[in-house]
Structure 1
Amino acid sequence: MSRSVRTGALSFAALLAVAAVGGCSDGGADSARADTSAGQKLDWKSCPAPSDSEDASSGQAPGDSWECATLHAPLDYGRPKGDTIGIALIRAKATDPDHRIGSLFFNFGGPGGSGISTLPAFAEDYQNLRTRYDLVSFDPRGVGRSDGVKCLGDKDLDSYYAADSTPDDAAERRALLDRVKKYAAACEKNSGKVLAHVGTSNAARDMDLMREALGDAKLHYFGISYGTELGGVYAHLFPKKVGRALLDGVVDPTNDPVRSALGQAKGFQLALGNYLRACAGSRDNCPTERQIQRLLDRLDKRPAPAADGRKLTQSLASGGIAQSLYSKDFWDYLTEGVEDAENGDGKILLALGDSMNGRDKDGAYSSLQSSLTAVTCADFKQRYTADDIAGKVGEFRRASPVFGDFMAWSLTQCTGWPVSGEWDTPEVSAKGAAPMLVVGNTGDPATPYEGARRMARELGKGVGVELTYKGEGHGAYNSGNACVKRAVDAYLLDGTVPKDGKVCS
């Protein structure tokens, strides 16, 4: 599975990221170049209603409390007077302005998740924080309204995501690599101008420009999933500008793509086992692991009928099963979906798989997965061949009989990508930064618990402060656990740093 599984968004709604509607300015002689200075004036206005592909659940604007603006940044920070890119912002002002601390920036993960659509959808969870902060989020460069990367059209994406992603022989391997390379070529054709500039380091630089444009002396930050990696990179680049920063659902910064995918295989296998045990103790129609394996094997040969004449393939079902493990709230869908698929009805697992891929009910795809691939390949240098991966499949299968093959072959993601990556692993050391709260969940499938400890260690002594949540699902703050919420709110609102190693259960 791709980096999207490792750093996926919070729920169905969070996966419905916005479509690309922005554009780069060429800064040529015939057009006035946008102001990219820290002193630029942000023109806050009422937010427009989302397009059909931005949010499948609502055609309404976020509401009167929300306003939107565009920050202008250099497309290439190495050429600060060159082309520009617009970064879409959204905010809701603090409800207690007399005690306002500043802006609290949110990134919800992916990479590829849209802050423009996600923050309003989950704003109720952050009402306590809003008393003293303006809640602010954004579509990172290459995502959604900030020149979201476009690759294939909707019909071609239907075929691409349905195709066999766990090849069983040399011919199927060649077919997989051919599809991946054609996808990369389409990304270059449709979004080539931005591909070299959508990496995490540039997104971190954009955040610092946002901070300055909003008049904040420090960056206060709430990063979830991939947002923790972005937060760590920001802290490395701008340690003296770190304010109060929460990293929740933590990406392990010491992992290369192979170790990350292998860790995810183990994480999703752990989460699957936890689901199966909990289900067996409460229901009569629970599947077994062996049943799920047999179902996936059968779908590899004979896809099941689903909605609107579409078929549930092995690839779509694997993504749907993984999606359902992000939260205990989805476990009932998994139970019913597996039972239905075994009886020849693939609608539920297909809907879950579509959610993972950013497809709405009308067949329109957000930029979620294309942006994810673009950011991942701009970040990481590694490019894997079929032989490289074939030699690792056994290790992945031992880590997860259910997800191992799928995870291993996701390593083709950047094969044939038209631009090179920046690093082997991200640098997050942040000597001199203020304490940053790093929250790990012991049952997290997408960002395994060990990553939190490694992130805290890499940030540096006195910077990374670890908090453990003994729970299930991806992330901790939105789990509903009162202990986690109290500790995080006390830190963000009052500056009270919990004891390093605190445990909530």
Structure 2
Amino acid sequence: MSRPLRIGALSAALLLAALAAGCGGDGGRPDTSAHQKLDWSACPAPSSSQDAGATKAPGREWEWECATLQAPLDYRKPHGRTIGIAMIRAKATGPGKRIGSLIFNFGGPGGSGVATLPALANSYKQLRTRYDLVSFDPRGVGRSSGVRCLGDRQLDAYYAADSSPDDKAEVKSLVRRVKTYAAGCEKNSGTILPYVGTTNAARDMDLMRRVLGDQKMHYFGVSYGTELGGVYAHLYPKNVGRALFDGVVDPMQTPEQGALGQAKGFQRALDDYMKACKGSAVYSCPTQNRIRSLLKRLDSHPVRGYGGRKLTESLADGGIAQSLYSRDYWQYLTQGIAAAQQGDGRILLALGDAMNGRGPDGRYSTLQSALAAITCADFKQRYTVADIERKLPTFRKVSPVFGDMMAWGLTQCTDWPVRGAWTTPDVSAKGSAPILIVGNIGDPATPYEGAGRMAKELGPGVGVELTYKGEGHGAYDSGNACVRNTVNAYLLRGKVPPKGKVCT
């Protein structure tokens, strides 16, 4: 969880995607120019590893179409190998004059837009009156040559293993597992690993814009999608149209600072949950001490889950974090902790599986493997065991529940086979049209402070900040009428809200 995941109140299988489509060769090379024609056709049925209830289109009126954009694998070699970028769209319905395409990225990095947009589409009906709603699987994700590292059973063991070691032997075991994971990524997806970074994804989006016939990039970015949007605005400031950044990543943070910020954010969200929890006739509300006691017990004595699997400390920690992405999940957190204390780990295990992209049939999406690949292609930092051990007291201080897990998560790029591109991304966008930045006070995954820093880094007159005093990851899908009306007025009518507006 070293970078924010836009999962929220979706089911575990929402972000599952099909197996990698692979890269093209030099022979019979597809057209990667802006003049290529997209072959829009009916979308393939969800694979057996997708949850049909989560991924099916919400009604026949949506008429989803899918196509594949052809892009250079390496933009420095525009006539070399190619990569296919899977896309999905629903055409504008009216009334009102069509503005163009509104391109969505739901975050991760590693989230499948092809799966997520249909699942959330009812939230965007009003936006569809004047936009074609478009999303895509970024390179390295899902159908766009999705990164694969280990087999499903290997991943079961990997995610169940101890991610917060207590002694030297456990540290060595964690380091060995991370090294094996990275080696598996290189073995199974090494061809594309150098090319899955955010800069290339931003270039793909501009190619997409041109192929779709849009003069400007109209954009709806959530979570990591705000970082991608910021990099796009830096590269192509004159091409930015109306753009929304929701659940905003702090562009000035290193991986260490980002992980520490998330530890604070999840702890703050957990504290808010415990304050709001009033219990029920069946379940009592957990305290932090009870949660920590449960995790400590699971470290040495896992409890039964489902499918012959057990709930371990690591899966429970991830499940608790998953439940904090949306207030809608708080009831399951209460039930899950109470059940786990009685030896039934099924609820927390299901939440942990959601965090890791595991479907009900035991198959994993590319969610977490793509997250690692994109993160490690972006950031130069490589943290050693000694680095992390020095930082542990700080992480534990800000979050007694999540601190260890967040700190040790910094090992994910230590043995990565590809060098990173930057220390922090440049999102300065002088000359860009105004971009609406929405920050949520109670956001666990992208703490509120990041919205202000993004607005500042975009530059004077570009970032316009809107504050939502709520809970959960992101604001537009929270159900808050003030946020939704303000965003819709901006995206549909070009009405920029006054700087510093607050929604409650």
* SS of residue matched to 1:445: coil
**1:17 & 1:308 partners in 2: Cα distance?**
19
* SS of residue matched to 1:142: coil
* SS of residue matched to 2:284: coil
**2:428 & 2:113 partners in 1: Cα distance?**
26
Q: Is the 2:55–2:115 contact (alpha carbons within 8 Å) kept by the matching residues of 1?
A: no
Residue equivalent to 1:303: 302
**1:7 & 1:260 partners in 2: Cα distance?**
13
Q: 1:246 and 1:59, CA in 2 relative to 1: closer, same or farther beyond 3 A?
A: closer
**1:10 & 1:486 partners in 2: Cα distance?**
21
Residue equivalent to 1:495: 494
The question of 1:38 aligning with 2:34 is answered yes
- Cα deviation, 1:466-500, whole Å, max 9, x if unaligned, reads 00000000000000000000100000000000011
Q: Is the 1:70–1:86 contact (alpha carbons within 8 Å) kept by the matching residues of 2?
A: yes
Residue equivalent to 1:472: 471
* SS of residue matched to 2:274: helix
Give 1:21 deviation, angstroms. Answer: 3.4
Residue equivalent to 1:185: 183
Give 1:58 deviation, angstroms. Answer: 6.2
- Cα deviation, 1:159-213, whole Å, max 9, x if unaligned, reads 0000000011111111101000000000000000000000000000000000000
**2:8 & 2:470 partners in 1: Cα distance?**
15
* SS of residue matched to 2:307: helix
| AA partner of residue 471 (structure 1) | G
Q: Is the 1:267–1:447 contact (alpha carbons within 8 Å) kept by the matching residues of 2?
A: yes
| AA partner of residue 321 (structure 1) | I
Give 1:308 deviation, angstroms. Answer: 1.5
Q: Is the 1:441–1:448 contact (alpha carbons within 8 Å) kept by the matching residues of 2?
A: yes
**1:103 & 1:247 partners in 2: Cα distance?**
16
| AA partner of residue 248 (structure 2) | V
- Cα deviation, 1:374-419, whole Å, max 9, x if unaligned, reads 0000000001111110110000000000100000000001110000
Q: Is the 1:15–1:368 contact (alpha carbons within 8 Å) kept by the matching residues of 2?
A: no
| AA partner of residue 93 (structure 2) | T
* SS of residue matched to 2:36: coil
Q: Is the 1:56–1:361 contact (alpha carbons within 8 Å) kept by the matching residues of 2?
A: no
* SS of residue matched to 2:191: helix
* Range with bigger deviation, 53-62 or 110-119: 53-62
Give 1:59 deviation, angstroms. Answer: 7.9
Please show how residues 112-261 of structure 1 align to structure 2 within 5 Å.
Answer: 112-261=110-259
TM-score calculated relative to the size of structure 2? 0.97
Identity of aligned residues (%): 69
| AA partner of residue 226 (structure 2) | T
Residue equivalent to 2:48: 52
Residue equivalent to 1:449: 448
**1:224 & 1:267 partners in 2: Cα distance?**
17
| AA partner of residue 412 (structure 2) | Q
Over the aligned positions, Cα root-mean-square deviation in angstroms equals 1.4
**1:253 & 1:235 partners in 2: Cα distance?**
13
* SS of residue matched to 2:192: helix
Give 1:9 deviation, angstroms. Answer: 2.6
* Range with bigger deviation, 373-382 or 52-61: 52-61
Give 1:234 deviation, angstroms. Answer: 0.2
| AA partner of residue 302 (structure 2) | P
- Cα deviation, 1:310-348, whole Å, max 9, x if unaligned, reads 100000000000000000100000000000000000000
**1:447 & 1:280 partners in 2: Cα distance?**
26
**1:21 & 1:377 partners in 2: Cα distance?**
19
| AA partner of residue 370 (structure 1) | S
Give 1:56 deviation, angstroms. Answer: 5.4
Residue equivalent to 2:416: 417
Q: Is the 1:16–1:359 contact (alpha carbons within 8 Å) kept by the matching residues of 2?
A: no
Q: 1:199 and 1:126, CA in 2 relative to 1: closer, same or farther beyond 3 A?
A: same
**1:54 & 1:427 partners in 2: Cα distance?**
36
* Range with bigger deviation, 300-309 or 132-141: 300-309
Residue equivalent to 2:329: 330
**1:118 & 1:185 partners in 2: Cα distance?**
29
| AA partner of residue 430 (structure 2) | K
**2:191 & 2:254 partners in 1: Cα distance?**
26
- Number of corresponding residues: 500
**2:346 & 2:375 partners in 1: Cα distance?**
30
Residue equivalent to 2:312: 313
**2:404 & 2:218 partners in 1: Cα distance?**
40
TM-score calculated relative to the size of structure 1? 0.97
Q: Is the 2:147–2:373 contact (alpha carbons within 8 Å) kept by the matching residues of 1?
A: yes
**2:487 & 2:73 partners in 1: Cα distance?**
35
**1:160 & 1:423 partners in 2: Cα distance?**
28
| AA partner of residue 35 (structure 1) | D
**1:19 & 1:322 partners in 2: Cα distance?**
26
**1:384 & 1:15 partners in 2: Cα distance?**
32
Residue equivalent to 1:435: 434
* SS of residue matched to 1:297: helix
- Cα deviation, 1:18-46, whole Å, max 9, x if unaligned, reads 1323110011xxx3100000110000000
* SS of residue matched to 1:88: strand
Q: Is the 1:36–1:84 contact (alpha carbons within 8 Å) kept by the matching residues of 2?
A: yes
**2:256 & 2:119 partners in 1: Cα distance?**
33
Q: Is the 1:51–1:59 contact (alpha carbons within 8 Å) kept by the matching residues of 2?
A: no
The question of 1:293 aligning with 2:289 is answered no
- Cα deviation, 1:246-303, whole Å, max 9, x if unaligned, reads 0000000000000000000000000000000100377761011100000000000100
Q: Could you list the runs of 5+ residues in structure 2 that have no partner in the other structure? A: none
